[in-house]
Amino acid sequence: MATLKMQNVTKQFGRNVIAVRDFNLEVKEQEFLVLLGPSGCGKTTAMRMVAGLEEVTTGKIFIGDRDVTDLPPRKRNVSMIFQNYAVWPHMTVYDNIAFALKLKNLPAEEIDRKVKEAAGLAKIEMLLDRLPAQLSGGQQQRVAVSRAIAVNPDIFLMDEPLSNLDAKLRVSMRTELKAIHEKAGSTTVFVTHDQSEAMSMADRIVIMKDGEVIQVGSPDDVYHRSRSIFVADFIGTPPTNFMEVDVRKEGEGIHLVNSHLNLLLEPALAKHLNTYSKDKIILGVRPENMLLVSEDEAALSASCLVSEPQGSHQVVAIQLDDSIIKVIAPASPTILPGTAVHMSFKQETLRFFDPDTTLAIND
Ligand SMILES: Nc1ncnc2c1ncn2[C@@H]1O[C@H](COP(=O)(O)OP(=O)(O)OP(=O)(O)O)[C@@H](O)[C@H]1O
Ligand SMILES: [Mg+2]
């Protein structure tokens, strides 16, 4: 087990592509850190540099106190699992797990013990004699995990390891991987572009965009205290609703106003706008933080476009001029298309964004 530090790491491919730009990251011992971002934002490249499969263009990488920037992969003591598992088809599960241990010339009894221990963690003890072709996708995934754990790596890297699994298995493997991490205690960097996977597994999430780190924080932080419109939009399903609103200072109070909305801010929130000099902000509100209320209590009224039943609740889509916002409402009564919906906000959850910088005003 060890810490991982990436210091001002940049990776440029050819002349024009900067895949990772001035990347700084510290992963704590035994932490489960998730790199999250849209396709092409540089997640895999960042991982491959840690594993030594890709050279850095500039910057340094440390594992514990060791500067590994120029070390070949086999000297880094890092295990990496890829999206396609890459289990060797011609070897039994046992031999797949034992392979790297044999290369280390460990005594046979020790190899046997480590193989069984790693297989036990991933619950595949009963599959050790099978070939990968005789396993389901989820089972192959477990073989890849066992194989990576067996060598007792300092750092455990996983690049979208669940993306080949069907939706249901993905969700149950999340839980299993997390449980394995709890037991093995390995310092782990896990890559995904699935925000709900990131939220459910991470100690901390690193949100990336265009090769850069945009925000680092606990799942709670990035969800409730998104520092930019990009993060507020990327995290959560349905995502944050955004509305452009005028900021009107009237007497002591501050109102947020647009053609559907007139909201008098509570003092605790209004204070964030005291020193804000522009007359517009982008208001961000999560679908579960809008409440259906009676007409006279409403800050926002508009008409229901459609409602999507989800069993435990319904997601109500509401048309506001040329945009649609979504509200999570109790499952019944079903809200019919065309009916007027009256809403208020849980004010303490509101986010204010500067329309020019797209950054949060209230931190
Ligand atoms: N070997 C390469 N040569 C040139 N460009 C590359 C190379 N590898 C990656 N890139 C580019 O670098 C950028 C980052 O790619 P990377 O694979 O790291 O993204 P990613 O975040 O892992 O995306 P995904 O979620 O689709 O896997 C992309 O623009 C990609 O086209
Ligand atoms: Mg990738």
**Ligand 1 pocket check for 39: Cβ under 6 Å:** yes
Residue pair 11/49 in contact by the 8 Å Cβ criterion: yes
**Ligand 1 pocket check for 42: Cβ under 6 Å:** yes
Query: How high does pLDDT run on average in the chain?
Result: 92
Weakest-pLDDT range from 217-221, 241-245, 318-322: 318-322
Residue pair 159/82 in contact by the 8 Å Cβ criterion: yes
- Of the pLDDT bands very low, low, confident and very high (cuts 50, 70, 90), residue 32 is very high
**Ligand 1 pocket check for 96: Cβ under 6 Å:** no
- Of the pLDDT bands very low, low, confident and very high (cuts 50, 70, 90), residue 170 is confident
Mean pLDDT of 91-98: 94
Mean pLDDT of 2-31: 96
pLDDT at position 173: 83
Ligand 1, atom 7: nearest CA belongs to which residue? 13
Weakest-pLDDT range from 225-229, 274-278, 307-311: 274-278
pLDDT at position 85: 67
Weakest-pLDDT range from 163-177, 183-197, 348-362: 163-177
- The ligand 1 atom at the shortest distance from the C-alpha of residue 83 is 27
pLDDT higher than threshold 90 for residue 25: yes
Burial of 197 (0-12, 13-18, 19+ CB in 10 A): buried
Weakest-pLDDT range from 121-125, 210-214, 325-329: 121-125
**Ligand 1 pocket check for 49: Cβ under 6 Å:** no
**Ligand 1 pocket check for 43: Cβ under 6 Å:** yes
Amino acid letter, 228: S
pLDDT at position 194: 92
pLDDT at position 244: 95
- Of the pLDDT bands very low, low, confident and very high (cuts 50, 70, 90), residue 184 is confident
Q: Report d(CA 229, CA 84) in Å as an integer.
A: 33
- The ligand 1 atom at the shortest distance from the C-alpha of residue 41 is 21
Tell me the backbone φ, ψ of residue 179, rounded to 5 degrees: -65, -40
- The maximal CA–CA distance of the chain, rounded, in angstroms, is 81
**Ligand 1 pocket check for 45: Cβ under 6 Å:** yes
Q: For residue 177, which of 32, 78, 77, 30 has the smallest C-alpha distance?
A: 32
Query: What percent of the chain has pLDDT above 70?
Result: 100
Mean pLDDT of 66-72: 96
Query: What percent of the chain has pLDDT above 90?
Result: 74
How many residues are recorded in the chain?
Answer: 363
Domains and CATH numbers, the chain: 4-234 (3.40.50.300), 241-353 (2.40.50.140)
- Of the pLDDT bands very low, low, confident and very high (cuts 50, 70, 90), residue 345 is very high
Ligand 1, atom 29: nearest CA belongs to which residue? 40
Per-residue burial over 76-95, b = 16 or more CB atoms within 10 Å of its CB, e = otherwise: bbbbbbbeebebeeeebbbb
Cis peptide before 89 (omega within 30 of 0): no
Mean pLDDT of 190-213: 95
* 3-class secondary structure, 344: strand
Mean pLDDT of 121-139: 89
- Measure 69 CA to ligand 1 centroid, in angstroms: 20
Ligand 1, atom 11: nearest CA belongs to which residue? 19
